[in-house]
Amino acid sequence: METGPQEALGKERAQGPVPLPQTLLEELRAIVGAANCIHEPSELRTYESDGLATFRATPGVVVLPGTTEEVSRVVKATAKHGLPIVPRGAGTGLSGGALPVPGCVVVGLSRMRKVLEVNLEDGYLRVQPGVINLDVSKLLAPKGYYYAPDPSSQSVCTIGGNVAENSGGAHCLKYGFTVNHVLGLRMVLHDGSIVDLGGPVLDSPGYDLVGIVVGSEGMLGIVTEVVLKALRKPEATRTFFATFPSTKEAGDAVSAIIASGIVPAAIEMMDTLAIIAAKAATGLDWPEVGAALLMDVDGPLDEVEHTAEHAGNLARKAGCIELNVPKDEAERQLMWKGRKSAFAAVGRISRNYIVQDGTIPRSEIGAVLGEIAKLSAESGIRVANVFHAGDGNLHPLVLFDARVPGEEKRAEELAGEILRICLRLGGSITGEHGVGAEKAPYMAEMFSDDDLDTMAKLRCAFDPGQRFNPGKVFPTPRLCGDRPGLYRAHPTELSGQAERT
């Protein structure tokens, strides 16, 4: 098993296994087949965490259903035992959104990876949730179409996971997030019933439940089919890689470009440490300057020729040192590879690191980077900055060495301080990684109790027993208030995260 840099921390070792009722195990085996029912402790280890490996818990069982019908039967069988259910895609999430609850039933959707329908005339396709994000675009490429949301993990993450997290990516500046590209969903609800929400035809009467389920972090049900928008590829894309003495000039360039009325497809910033890391990972010969911008503009040819030239001039005016245009598509891909591998690349320059994700108003970029630099200097903890500059979505990588006593704690505090800066400026605690288990405590700093209570109403409407993915998003357990029948311990109580008073 490959271990990430965070693996070594062992901060929260897996809690001991909670036994699964034997009758449930037998039922689940009968539904999905013994081969798709993982129960061996050694095999369960794979499912103890998602991409946030510091949060771990052992599920009671992992089932891998192959059809919507099987998902429904799994949910019904589990409901009889009152056990929590944690849906899981590829497990690449960075916020612990797929963190199991001890003893729970994990429903992995990886076997449901069929493309069910492609209708380019009407601009959509219908897929199962286990389909890999990038495979959708690969499938559509020969016809000149693609699927827009492009999270950095797109070669491994699944559409189902994207739906749960409302995944973004570098190009959501112009094209929007998953929620802007999902037209409809089929999902299994808490009682095992199957519903269709939305669909290829827009504006189905009723509440926008598709808009709610996308980004609900697996807490409202299990999505088993997704209707996606298929977009025609733009005629042309122009890219530049521009270097700057510092993040200040790079930030000014971003502001000038946006203010000029250009909507870049993507505009990404990296600071010195991030550039060094990306170079180490890809072998690119990027200069080790104060900051770099990687920008894509796309659209009709003449339009992008104009906007690329105009944006380039604005970058020069803002103090750019050098502006490089890739000579061909291969070089362009390499530049993007450098950017997209930046997270993992940081592992080459630091033993351990925390990937932070927060959003600030774009105009505050310069000031915020200054504050982060100051915090970094004060604490002696290095921070590499890689981010989606166009929409103010920061990804500070907080670097530390867990072997040095106290460093991990200082790194965590620094990462937390960055989120507080985001909040102070009216931003968000997460731009695209989700709240999950990791940031649930910060929700109470971004939202009032009334705000959270209102969100909880929605959860209760979908899942009155709150058995889907408990312990995520909400900072404290909230009861739906009307559960009939016998008292059942809330999953967060079972896992020792909360207690009833």
Partner 1 sequence: MIWGVVPQEPQSIEEAQELLRAAYRDKQRLAFVGGGTRLGIGAPPKSVQLVIGTSKLSRILEYAPSDQVVVAESGVKLSQLQAELAKNGQRLALDPALPEKQTLGGIIASNAFGPLRARYGAVRDLIIGVSIVRADGVRAKGGGKVVKTVAGFDMPKLICGSLGTLGFIATAIFRVHPLPEATQTLVSHGLSAAEVNAAAAAMRAQQLEPSALLASRTAPGRFDLAVRFEGFARGLAQQVKKASAIGRLSPAGNEVWDAHQQLLAEGPVRVKVAALPTALAKVDAALPQGKLDFYPSLGLGFCAGDLTAQLIASARAALAFGSVVVEEAPSPLDSFGTAPAALDLHRAVKNRFDPQGLLAPGRFIGGI
Phi, psi of 425 (to 5 degrees): -90, 10
Under the binding rule (CB under 8 A), the answer on residue 315 touching partner 1 is: no
Q: Which of 454, 483, 488, 500 binds partner 1 (CB under 8 A)?
A: 454
Residue ranges in 195-254 that form contacts with partner 1 under rule CB under 8 A: 195-197, 199-209, 211-212, 214-216, 232-235
Which is nearer to partner 1, 191 or 322 (by Cβ)? 191
Asked if residues 161 and 93 have their Cβ atoms less than 8 Å apart, the reply is: yes
Under the binding rule (CB under 8 A), the answer on residue 457 touching partner 1 is: yes
Which is nearer to partner 1, 238 or 382 (by Cβ)? 238
State the DSSP H helix or E strand holding residue 255, giving kind and residue range, or none if neither.
Answer: helix 247-259
Residue 74, token pair as written in the block: 């799994």
Q: Which of 439, 467, 490, 491 binds partner 1 (CB under 8 A)?
A: 439
Under the binding rule (CB under 8 A), the answer on residue 479 touching partner 1 is: no
Phi, psi of 212 (to 5 degrees): -85, -40
Which is nearer to partner 1, 59 or 427 (by Cβ)? 427
Q: How many residues bind partner 1 (CB under 8 A)?
A: 89
Asked if residues 261 and 357 have their Cβ atoms less than 8 Å apart, the reply is: no
Which is nearer to partner 1, 20 or 254 (by Cβ)? 254
Where helices occur in 401-466 by DSSP H, the ranges are 407-424, 440-446, 449-462
Residue ranges in 267-306 that form contacts with partner 1 under rule CB under 8 A: 299-306
Residue 205 CB, nearest distance to partner 1 (Å)?
Answer: 5
Residue 251 CB, nearest distance to partner 1 (Å)?
Answer: 11
Which is nearer to partner 1, 97 or 130 (by Cβ)? 97
Residue ranges in 18-47 that form contacts with partner 1 under rule CB under 8 A: none
Residue 3 CB, nearest distance to partner 1 (Å)?
Answer: 27
Under the binding rule (CB under 8 A), the answer on residue 428 touching partner 1 is: yes
Under the binding rule (CB under 8 A), the answer on residue 67 touching partner 1 is: no
Helix (H, G, I), strand (E, B) or coil at 87: strand
Residue 447 CB, nearest distance to partner 1 (Å)?
Answer: 6
Residue 391 CB, nearest distance to partner 1 (Å)?
Answer: 4
Under the binding rule (CB under 8 A), the answer on residue 459 touching partner 1 is: yes
Asked if residues 218 and 203 have their Cβ atoms less than 8 Å apart, the reply is: no
**Whole-angstrom Cα distance, residue 107 to residue 111?**
11
Under the binding rule (CB under 8 A), the answer on residue 431 touching partner 1 is: yes
SS (H, E, C) 196-240: EEECCCCCCCCCCHHHHHCCCCCCCCEEEEEEEECEECCCEEEEE
Q: Which residue has the tokens 């109790």?
A: 449
Residue ranges in 344-383 that form contacts with partner 1 under rule CB under 8 A: 359-363
Asked if residues 480 and 466 have their Cβ atoms less than 8 Å apart, the reply is: yes
How far, in Å, are 156, 201, 294 from residue 336 at the CA level? 17, 35, 8
Under the binding rule (CB under 8 A), the answer on residue 117 touching partner 1 is: no
